[in-house]
């Protein structure tokens, strides 16, 4: 192996004609492995698996499913076969990384070899195989990559007995749209072979470039591109001053990938005290916890924020870094309120948005709090199906700047994924200017815009067949509810939500049962596609009122009772209470 240390770009170009400096930003060593370069491409015979249809967030299964021989290889090759045109990949860059969960490294090595055998010019891999979901989006966009392969099951548990996933992001940095995922699925059904190299593993721990076949495999700093993007959006000096004033933050990374980003930005760059980030080391099994930032799975953080002497701000992110939860002292901020607050204050408090917002967007089940802010700002708020890919089209067309989902996802057009740490930085930026408490900031918002009393009830691990039949039955009868009495008021409209994309005209049908009442309350039900066991029914309750001082449970009780009857939860599923309330 030839190792070139601290060589100038000019010197490296003399040895490797066509070498581009942009390929190795921040990389000082180029490792040229002649044995790997001369490794012949091997064609491996295989047979299709019948369960490789990607969902909203890629292909998710139990880890043991992915550990089957050829399972990862088949799906990776199907991705490349669905993308390949006559010109091939000889001029293209692919990014690879994941959230650090069990089996990540093994899968990454397999995909590197398949990518090289398929002729990619360059493969970028996060050091140690690490890349958060928003960092992957930033890397794709900044390095002009064809796309990226993420190894993650997001907020689902990890470990040998946990969950695993493979997700493809396209050139704009966002999740593959349905047309792409369907092409991938079609390839999985007819695959007969995959290409690979019989080479040794690439060293993922050391930044630098290894030439594998004709492909430059570059191990990059997973923090660099993401951090540069954030520096362009937020006033780091104002946030440094906030911490210097004695402001305290507790950030729970839940042993997911965000820990490395949070420690770098919050503690090293912004000067938050050491120990601000807790559970910051990424672990393959997330320390045995469920890395989902809500009141149930981040109960320790919730408890710490209710104690005497609690920090000023509490925050948590999930396994792959795209979700977030925001807390004040003895105060939970709903995802809908968080989105609305950021939209309200962005232009005045966050430099990257000082010219104003082009538009806002939320998923259909998300509370309408941001709609009221958008109306006051004179911008449009788009209502989309669940799935970040729908926001991507709007952002690419310049129709949306800030967007969010009720499932603790918030983001903006700086990347094409939801971004948990971005949301925390946005709150820090706002508090650095407003110099008030989280609770006071939200209370002021309610006084101006009214309050959306809101909850989500999850019923997990339901029988899939029964749950699907229930939703199908409601689709047939839902329109007949219009004009009937429900939850102490009258049903104004009831439908199965359908969305026509204003950019490309595509139509997404059957996106959730939606009931709108005469007092602007809403009751919504849909089956989630992010789990790996059985079905998860999610029910959403929203009641809008001009004041914000009533108990949430009391305010929503009529809606909850109506949903229990409508969805026949006790009769069909023998469930008296939801699995999780957020």
Q: 89: closest CA among 21, 209, 171, 24? A: 171
Positive or negative, the Cα torsion across 528, 409, 328, 347? negative
Alpha helices in 305-377 (DSSP H): 335-349, 369-377
Q: Are 84 and 113 contacting, i.e. CB atoms less than 8 angstroms apart?
A: no
Beta strands in 279-336 (DSSP E): 313-317, 324-328, 331-333
- Beta strands 122-130 and 93-98 are parallel
Q: Which residues are catalytically annotated? A: 154
139, 145 in Cβ contact below 8 A? yes
378 CB-near residues (< 8 Å, 6+ apart): none
* Eight-state DSSP code of residue 58: B
Q: Which residues contact 229 (CB under 8 A, 6 or more apart)?
A: 138, 142, 414, 415
Picking from 120, 132, 141, 136, the residue whose alpha carbon sits closest to that of residue 76 is 120
From the list 227, 225, 268, 234, the residue with the least C-alpha distance to 426 is 234
User: What distance in Å separates the CA atoms of residue 489 and residue 482, rounded to the nearest whole number?
Assistant: 12
Q: Which residues of 377-401 are buried (b: 16+ CB within 10 A; e: fewer)?
A: bebbbbbbbbbbbbbbbbbeeebbb
- Contact criterion met (CB below 8 Å) for 297 and 291: yes
Strands 277-278 and 249-252: parallel
How would you classify the pairing of strands 360-363 and 580-581?
unpaired
Question: Comparing C-alpha atoms, which of 568, 520, 572 is closest to residue 541?
Answer: 520
List, in sequence order, every residue forming a beta bridge with 516; answer none if it has no partner. 493, 522
CA-nearest of 226, 508, 498 to 393 is 508
């Amino acid at each position: 192996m030839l190792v070139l240390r601290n060589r100038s770009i000019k010197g490296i170009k003399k040895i490797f004609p066509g070498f581009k400096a942009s390929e190795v930003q921040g990389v000082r060593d180029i490792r040229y492995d002649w044995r790997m370069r001369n490794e012949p491409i091997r064609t491996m015979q295989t047979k299709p698996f019948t369960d490789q249809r990607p969902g909203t967030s890629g292909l998710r299964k139990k880890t043991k499913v992915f550990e089957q021989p050829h399972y990862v290889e088949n799906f990776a090759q199907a991705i490349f076969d669905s993308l390949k045109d006559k010109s091939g990949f000889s001029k293209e860059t692919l990014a690879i990384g994941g959230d650090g969960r069990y089996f990540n490294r093994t899968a990454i090595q397999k995909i590197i070899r398949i990518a090289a055998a398929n002729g990619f010019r360059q493969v970028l891999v996060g050091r140690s195989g690490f890349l958060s979901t928003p960092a992957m989006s930033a890397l794709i966009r900044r390095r002009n990559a064809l796309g990226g392969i993420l190894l993650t099951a997001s907020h689902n548990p990890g470990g040998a007995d946990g969950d695993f996933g493979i997700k493809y992001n396209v050139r704009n940095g966002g999740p593959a749209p349905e047309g792409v995922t369907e092409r991938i699925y079609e390839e999985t059904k007819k695959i007969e072979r995959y290409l690979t190299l019989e080479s040794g593993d690439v060293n993922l721990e050391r930044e630098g470039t290894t030439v594998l076949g004709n492909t430059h495999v570059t191990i990059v700093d997973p923090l660099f591109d993401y951090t540069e993007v954030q520096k362009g959006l937020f006033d780091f000096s104002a946030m440094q001053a906030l911490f210097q004033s004695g402001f305290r933050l507790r950030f729970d990374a839940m042993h997911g990938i965000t820990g490395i980003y949070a420690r770098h930005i919050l503690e090293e760059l912004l000067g938050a005290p050491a120990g601000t980030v807790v559970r910051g080391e990424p672990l393959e099994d997330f320390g045995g916890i469920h890395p989902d930032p809500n009141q149930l799975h981040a109960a320790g953080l919730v408890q710490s924020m209710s104690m005497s002497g609690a920090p000023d701000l509490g925050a948590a992110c999930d396994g792959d870094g795209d979700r977030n939860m925001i807390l004040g002292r003895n105060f939970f901020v709903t995802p809908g309120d968080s989105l609305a607050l950021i939209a309200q204050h962005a232009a005045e408090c966050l430099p990257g948005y000082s010219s104003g917002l082009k538009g806002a967007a939320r998923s259909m089940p998300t509370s309408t709090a941001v709609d009221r802010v958008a109306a006051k700002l004179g911008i449009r708020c788009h209502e989309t199906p669940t799935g970040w890919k729908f926001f991507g089209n709007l952002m690419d067309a310049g129709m949306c700047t800030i967007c969010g989902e009720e499932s603790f996802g918030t983001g903006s057009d700086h990347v094409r994924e939801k971004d948990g740490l971005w949301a925390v930085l946005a709150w820090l930026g706002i508090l650095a200017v407003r110099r008030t408490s989280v609770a006071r900031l939200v209370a002021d918002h309610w006084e101006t815009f009214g309050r959306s009393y809101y909850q989500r009830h999850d019923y997990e691990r339901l029988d899939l067949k029964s749950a699907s039949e229930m939703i199908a039955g409601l689709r047939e009868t839902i329109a007949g509810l219009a004009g009937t009495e429900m939850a102490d008021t009258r049903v104004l409209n009831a439908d199965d939500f359908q969305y026509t994309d204003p950019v490309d005209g595509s139509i997404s049908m059957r996106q959730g049962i939606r009931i709108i009442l005469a007092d602007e309350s809403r009751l919504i039900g849909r089956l989630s596609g992010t789990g790996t066991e059985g079905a998860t029914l999610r029910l959403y309750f929203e009641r809008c009122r001009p004041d914000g001082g009533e108990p949430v449970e009391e305010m929503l009780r009529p809606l909850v009772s109506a949903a229990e009857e409508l969805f026949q939860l006790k009769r069909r599923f023998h469930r008296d209470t939801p699995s999780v309330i957020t």
